Homo-oligomer: A and B are copies of this chain.
Amino acid sequence: MPLGFRGEGITYTARFCGVETPFYFNIKETIKTYIVHGDFDFVVSPLMFSGHSPSKDRDPEVHNLDRRLYPYAETDINVAWAQWAKAGIVVAKICPWLDLDSEDENVRTDSEAILKQQIEWASYLSLKACLLPTPKGNSCANYARCVNQILKGPKNNMQLLLRIPIGMSDNDYSPRSNASVDSWQTWNSFRVLCDHHNLLTIALDINMNIRSCYQESPASRELTKTLVRGACRCCNIRYRCSKRHPLRPYLDQVSNVYKQRNPLSERECREPFRNFSSALSYEGQATDSLKYTEYERAICKALLDRVPNEKASFIVTVLVVVGAGRGSLVFASLKAAEITGRKLKVYAVEKNPQTVIALDEVIKANNWVDIVFIVTSDVRYWNAPERADILVSDLLGSFGDNELSPESLDGAQRFLEKDGISIPSSYTSFLQPLTASKSYQIAKARKYILHSESACVVKLYNVARLAPSQQVFTFTHPKWFDKESNERYKKLQFEIPKDTGSAMVHGFAGYFNMTLYKDVCLATEPSTKKPDLFSWFPMFFPLRMPIRVDRGSILEVHFWRCVDSRKVGFLFLFLHFMLLIWIALCNLKQVWYEWCVTSPSSSPIHNCNGRSCWMDL
């Protein structure tokens, strides 16, 4: 019985609980005991009979067997087997004592042969996953080489779970030396050697109170999240269990841990993975009540500041909504006028004529035709009939200025009164280094470099935030010095906390913080974000190659916002000539980001000349 579902898709949301069993000759009986009676979802079971305890297996006699391998015990294969295998009910547990990096060449080659044979056997039995034994020390190159060969074999589609202990080790896991073994280091080295293969995942062996785990370092949090939320999809918690004892209480406990985690809201379950350049959907924005309440508050304050009570009856405030869309900001403005008792004249400027049809109808129905004027024009080229007192806009992307808000508001500023107000009055982008191996795997799977350095908007699952976010670029509106450039350059230094372990940086999360007016703010930056703000998911700026950072080290990052009047995306060569004509005609301007890391080691500069992602003006 799955621990619960989150949303509709099974991939990200269902969680299962299995149980590790000893070897039984009768697999039918095993399944009956644990799955049917015990209510677990799957069993993790050895494929061969081993009368040997690990210590006995280590007996020199055994290793002097001249490389004869142990025969497989007869497994009870019956009709039901195929179904069980297909349903992922049985996960093969590979011999725990294998040591593929042993100094003893016989142990090493025996281990290699047994590993291959058992995987082949599991593959023949159509099993969907195998649990691989824990590496026996810090060095695991040969083990990784064998697993890598299996993963990249022509027919493999089996998931290999590498067992990595956290906390005290148990009987199965006896490291080669007494030297301390860093679980994360072992896992990280293994996955890098296997080139981040998507069928290689971690099986955490938690030998501590599961609760205490959550107070651990970011590295272990990464691991834990992999367990509870992640891709490995099985919750492989070990308990010393006896066959007869009903394990139900343990299952319930695991289930509780799962249920007590902050549940995802219904919205979050929709799980967007949106492209950089695609605008946020109007619907998504329009139903974000917090956002429009804040806009309303900001407009109220601006109206009160602009028009004193005694003049409220005769001064008409001219308000221009830049990018009116379906009119949410128009309604917020009208509501603010009603609340404050100020007279208002609204110009709703929107370049997309399709989106204002609904607004137009609402205006007519409410008889607002004398107050609200719809202008279907690009605000930068609109010839405004009068100067505006207040500009209201909602042009921010996930990284603040990434949807060309600065350029658009520069255009709108032409018709703003000298002492006019812009809502928002300023915004600042933020960056934060992330461990995000899932996102990296997605990026790596892309065929071209151009795609693997594309920034995207994404809900951040299974990530570790490696340091507090820092400010990047700030824009203020209206700007008082007309010629001020919208290009920006910022060098950031993140200090990786001393109390955590090493980590891999796969990229950077981008957020923003905007001041609508005075103290009215909206933020996606985690330390200031309000939980019920839905309109924006974070931006993710990937690194082409993950960079390893050690505890206490400095991660130095450079970010540029580049503006060029001649930049063209040469996506399709056959369009080249037409594009050149087009540019000549409209002097196309483009904006893009570039980024790189210079410490602890240098990366190439990403997205040079905006080759992978850019914004059209």
Which residues of A are interface residues toward B (Cβ below 8 A)? 108-109, 139, 141-142, 144-145, 148-149, 152-154, 188-189, 192-195, 485, 489, 491, 545, 548, 558, 560, 562, 568, 570, 594, 596, 598, 601-605, 608-609, 611
Given contacts A153-B609, A193-B604, is CB(A596)–CB(B560) below 8 Å? no
Say yes or no: B145 contacts A548, CB within 8 Å.
no
**Contact of A149 with B545 in the complex, beta carbons under 8 Å:** no
* Docked-complex contact A152 and B609, CB < 8 angstroms: yes
Q: With A193-B604, A604-B193 in contact, is A594–B152 under 8 Å at CB?
A: no
Give the residues in chain B near A605, CB-CB below 8 Å: 141, 144-145, 148, 193-195
With both beta carbons as reference points, the residue of chain B lying nearest to A604 in the complex is identified as B195
The quantity of this chain's copies bound in the complex is: 2
CB atoms of A141 and B491 under 8 A apart:
yes
State whether B141 touches A611 (Cβ < 8 A).
no
A558 CB contact (under 8 Å) in B141, B192, B195: B141
Residues of B close to A154: CB separation below 8 A: 568, 570
CA distance A153 to B570 in the complex (A): 11
Bound together, the chains give a CA A108 to CA B560 distance in angstroms of 13
Contacts of A193 in B (CB 8 A): 596, 598, 602-605
Residue numbers in B under 8 Å from A192 (CB-CB) = 601-604
Q: If A192-B603, A193-B605, A194-B605 touch, does A598 touch B141 (CB 8 Å cutoff)? A: yes
Report, nearest first, the 8 A-B pairs whose CB atoms are least far apart: A195-B604, A192-B602, A141-B558, A152-B608, A189-B602, A148-B605, A148-B608, A193-B605
Instruction: Please tell me if the beta carbons of A149 and B609 are within 8 angstroms of each other in the complex.
Output: yes
CB distance from A158 to the nearest CB of B (A): 16
Chosen A-B contacts, 25 in total, with CB atoms closer than 8 Å, are A108-B489, A109-B485, A139-B598, A141-B491, A141-B596, A141-B598, A141-B605, A142-B560, A144-B605, A145-B558, A145-B596, A145-B605, A149-B562, A152-B608, A152-B609, A192-B601, A192-B604, A193-B596, A193-B604, A193-B605, A194-B604, A194-B605, A195-B604, A195-B605, A545-B545
Q: Tell me the minimal C-beta distance from A542 to chain B in angstroms.
A: 15
- A102 → B minimal CB distance (Å): 11
Contact present for B601 and A142 (CB under 8 Å): no
Known pairs A148-B605, A149-B609, A152-B611. 6 more at Cβ < 8 A? A139-B598, A141-B596, A141-B605, A142-B489, A144-B596, A145-B605
The answer for the CA separation of A558 and B101 in the assembled complex, in Å, is 11
Whether the Cβ atoms of B608 and A548 lie closer than 8 Å is no
With A and B bound together, what is the CA distance between A431 and B220 in angstroms? 38
Considering only CB atoms, which chain B residue lies closest to A153 in the complex? Answer: B609
**Interfacial chain B residues near A109, Cβ < 8 Å:** 485
Chain B residues with Cβ under 8 A from A108's Cβ? 489
A594 CA / B598 CA spacing, docked (Å): 31
Q: In the assembled complex, which residues on chain B have CB atoms less than 8 Å from the CB atom of A148?
A: 605, 608
Also in contact, A145 and B594, with CB within 8 A (given A152-B608, A601-B548) = yes
By a CB distance below 8 angstroms, the chain B residues around A491 are: 139, 141
Residue of B nearest to A449 (CB): B195
Q: Are A598 and B152 in contact (CB under 8 A)?
A: no
Instruction: A468 to B153: give the CA distance in the assembly, Å.
Output: 36
Q: Are A558 and B142 in contact (CB-based, < 8 A)?
A: yes
Task: Give the docked Cα–Cα distance between A194 and B144 (Å).
Answer: 32
Residues of the B chain whose Cβ atoms lie less than 8 Å from the Cβ of A570:
154
The CA of A491 and the CA of B545, in the complex, are separated in Å by 25
Which residues of B sit under 8 angstroms from A594, Cβ to Cβ? 145, 149
Most chain B CB inside 10 Å of its own CB: which residue of A195, A548, A605, A609: A605
Shortest CB distance A152–B (Å) = 5
Q: List residues of chain B with CB within 8 A of the CB of A139.
A: 491, 598
List B contacts of A558 (CB < 8 A).
141-142, 145
State the Cβ distance, A409 to closest chain B Cβ, in Å.
Answer: 22
Q: Give the distance to chain B from A395, nearest Cβ to Cβ, in Å.
A: 26
A594 to B149 Cα, complex, angstroms: 10
Q: Taking the nearest CB of chain B, how far is it from the CB of A82, in angstroms?
A: 24
Docked CA distance A608–B146 (Å): 9
Report the Cα distance A609→B605, complex, angstroms: 33
Instruction: Tell me the minimal C-beta distance from A162 to chain B in angstroms.
Output: 15
Are B145 and A189 interface neighbours, CB within 8 A? no
What B residues does A608 contact at CB under 8 A?
A: 145, 148-149, 152, 195
Interface hub of A148, A153, A604, A611 (most chain B Cβ within 10 A): A604
State how many angstroms separate the Cβ of A543 from the closest Cβ of chain B. Answer: 12
B residues within 8 A CB of A611?
152
Complex: A594 Cα to B152 Cα, angstroms:
13
How many whole Å from A535's CB to the nearest CB in chain B? 32
- Specify which of B189, B560, B596, B602 is in contact with A598 (CB 8 Å cutoff): B189
In the complex, what distance in Å separates the CA atom of A611 from the CA atom of B193?
16
In the complex, what's the smallest C-beta–C-beta distance from A125 to chain B, in angstroms? 20
Residue among A142, A145, A194, A601 facing the most chain B CB atoms (10 A cut-off)? A145
Question: Across the two chains, which residue of chain B brings its CB closest to A562?
Answer: B149
CB of A563 to closest CB in B, whole Å? 12
Chain B's closest residue to A558 (CB) is: B141
Complex alpha-carbon distance, A570 and B596, angstroms: 37
Name the CB-closest residue of B to A594.
B145
Kindly state the separation between the CA atoms of A568 and B568 in the bound complex, as whole angstroms. 44
The interface residues of chain B lying within 8 Å CB-to-CB of A489 are 108, 142
CB distance from A449 to the nearest CB of B (A): 9
Nearest neighbor of A557 in chain B, beta-carbon distance: B141
Residues of B contacting A145 with CB < 8 Å?
558, 560, 594, 596, 605, 608
Taking the closest CB of chain B, its distance from the CB of A613, in whole angstroms, is 15
Q: Which residues of B contact A195 (CB under 8 A)?
A: 604-605, 608
